[in-house]
Structure 1
Amino acid sequence: MALKNQGYAVDCAADGEDGLWYIESHRYDVILLDIMMPKIDGLEVLSRIRKADDDTHVLLLTAKDAVSDKVAGLRAGADDYLIKPFDLEELMARVEALARRACGKKSPVIRIGELEMDLTAKKVSVHGQELHLTSREYLVLEYLVRRQGEVVTRSEIEENVYDENADLMSNVVNSTISLLRKKLQEGGAGQMIQTRRGLGYCIE
């Protein structure tokens, strides 16, 4: 719930078996993985996805605080480790850091031309003036910015910006892109969002 409130598209699995299915069927920026899960434990899930050459950043959650457990998790391929109970703000900060690393960014601020996006403050500005975006417009722009230079399909935006329970109308992505273009152009950023006909969208 906290992740969704921060604008993340979230898929939830109650056990390791379902978790593996999600991971094998979808592309994620970050995986939160509890070690003590039914059916298949988190370390086994982690081991299997690494053997499958899946390099998605993984944050392990566990009640185990022994050094040997931390070492086992990190050696199995985890990128970070958080012991329960934990502070929710710390969890969010670690997820943000791993998400930035997933797109090759260490700084929370991304600049493309005159556009500046603060991934922590969730603010966008052009020529130093803040753009007022809806939460959905912001999330679509953030996804495109994280994939700068790549062509992103409409289905990828739907899958990564909207969670599995969202009721999507057929033109929701096109409509959001259109509004974003208008606001970016009015703010002085020009036509940053390019359409690759039949393929998708790209920020350059």
Structure 2
Amino acid sequence: MAKKQGLNKKLILLDLVFYAILPYIVWNYGKEPFGDYATMLISTIPGFIYTCYRFILEKQFNIAGLFIIGSLALGTMVNLLSGSAEQMIWNGVYLGLFYIVIYFIALIVKRPFSLYFAVDFAYLQGYARKDSATLFFQKGIFNWFQLIQVVFIVRGLFMAGLTVFLLNKYGIDGYGGMLLYKQIAGWFFWMLITGMFIYINIPVQRFLAGQQDKLQDKKTPLSTDEIF
């Protein structure tokens, strides 16, 4: 447990460095010689490299892996096509709203991304994908994944609203502060979602215990008369 807590603290520190501190430094010292737009593009490079590194290190596959790589590719393309620093921020908001629509559709058709992320994680722990998916779609467990999907949507709406608020209040010059505020908000939702994923283990264990009880009930011992 102590080792895991130490790892989490290290990851939080690395997130802060690559997603907030380094981009903030690049923004502060680069916008005068390079201009706002070019500096903003450069400021995304540390986070891009770090995300790729985490992807390779954590060996994420299938839905989770494809989502990460797809998001990176789409986000980078949008940034390169924006043409100006302010438009780059607005396009980031639009892209976030696009993801919200995707999350909402997945929620309505009852195929939450959160469930498939959990299946990927279980697979890395040695469990078959088909078995994990069957287990996670059980009623008492599935509802929790739907709830996490709702949190994904709320997070997207909040982050988009926060970005628009900060941009309207401080303008493009407040981009450095915007990075910090968004990182803090991102941590809050990360802790909330992580806690919900951890809690899911409780209904999972409850369901498995119920199945074990049913199995034991079917294996009732034979009476003496039946034996002889």
Question: Would you tell me which structure has more strand in proportion to its own residues?
Answer: 1
Question: Would you tell me which structure has more helix in proportion to its own residues?
Answer: 2
TM-score (norm 2): 0.27
Return the structure number with greater relative CO, CA threshold 8 A, min gap 6: 2
TM-score (norm 1): 0.29
Select the structure of larger CA radius of gyration.
2
